[in-house]
Amino acid sequence: MATAQQTAQIAKGDGFIAALDQSGGSTPKALRLYGIEEDAYSNDVEMYDLIHQMRARIIKSPAFSNGKVIGAILFEQTMDRDIDGTPTATYLWESAGVVPFLKIDKGLEDESNGVQMLKPIPGLGALLDRAKAAGIYGTKERSVIHAANHAGIAAIVAQQFELGATVTAHGLMPILEPEVTISISDKAEAEAILRDELLKHLDQLPSDQQVMLKLSLPSVPNFYKPLIDHPRVLQLVALSGGYSRDEANVILAKNEGMIASFSRALTEGMSAQQSDAEFDAALAAAITNIHAASTASETVAA
């Protein structure tokens, strides 16, 4: 059964999860970094065509299917499109051996109590059913923490677990992502509150349920080890959060059991102007380095 195989692949963690889920607001920036300026398209349809071409180029690269990428997070329009005539999620699993996830959040509320909560997700049930039918294994939902505000962080974690319960009820694996902004002065304090709140909710989950967590790289190495070791956590992945790929890899390698789920840091240095050979070589180098950081055996005392 594919789901059992996919769960085992994610749980083993012998690799990392590629985040290919840039949506409306972040797509123009992603295209610029890829060497495509905004004057190359005149509307959203053309913009999404171009970003899908970029994602398809990544997914079809031999470097992407060499076993070092164990999962990939897709944007909804990517799920709805195909690669060489095969639906994207199906192509990922059957042709590349990569477990497909779907970004389901629809943006953030204005900041309050030092956090930005998830906006409502219209038609959530229908979206989850459609994702399940398309072969999606799990979902990702991102909210953001800007300050060590206990009330705000408690609210954001509660919202994440409430949404996660809905995802689980539809037969999908939730990746809960309460991101801590890496540039805030009280980042370590925010992480301490976040860890305690996450542990509280994890302890309340039924014994037959698990979630995944996607968190900013911590200020103190191995700070999230109690989360990684928790029986209700299938896997804990890290976002690059504004660090360069090299910086993120150095920090990640110091965190035992934490694997990458990088977006911008994955595609850093790749462009539409590169030949296929140049592109594949750049992607292979990025994947090799991120994989090494994700599977590093280095243990640093917390």
The CATH number of the domain holding residue 54 is 3.20.20.70
Q: Which two tokens stand for residue 242?
A: 């504004």
Closest CA to 121 of 135, 142, 107: 107
For 146-167, the pLDDT digits (tens) are: 999 999 999 999 999 999 999 9
pTM for the full model?
A: 0.94
Average of per-residue pLDDT across 102-121 = 96
Percent of the chain having pLDDT more than 70?
A: 97
Give the count of domains, the chain.
Answer: 1
**Positions marked active-site:** 177, 214
Residue 268 lies in a domain: yes
Residue 300 belongs to a domain:
no
With respect to residue 31, please indicate whether it lies within any of the assigned structural domains. Answer: yes
pLDDT tens string 215-229: 999 999 999 999 999
Which CB contacts under 8 angstroms, 24+ apart, belong to 200-209? 201/157, 201/158, 201/161, 202/227, 202/230, 202/232, 202/233, 203/232, 205/232, 207/231, 209/168
pLDDT of 301: 36
Inside any domain, residue 237: yes
User: Does residue 70 lie in a domain region?
Assistant: yes
Residue 97 in domain: yes
Confidence check: pLDDT of 280 > 80: yes
In this structure, what token pair is assigned to residue 215? 């968190």
Query: Does residue 131 lie in a domain region?
Result: yes
- Is 40 within the bounds of a domain? yes
Domain that holds residue 198: 2-8+15-294
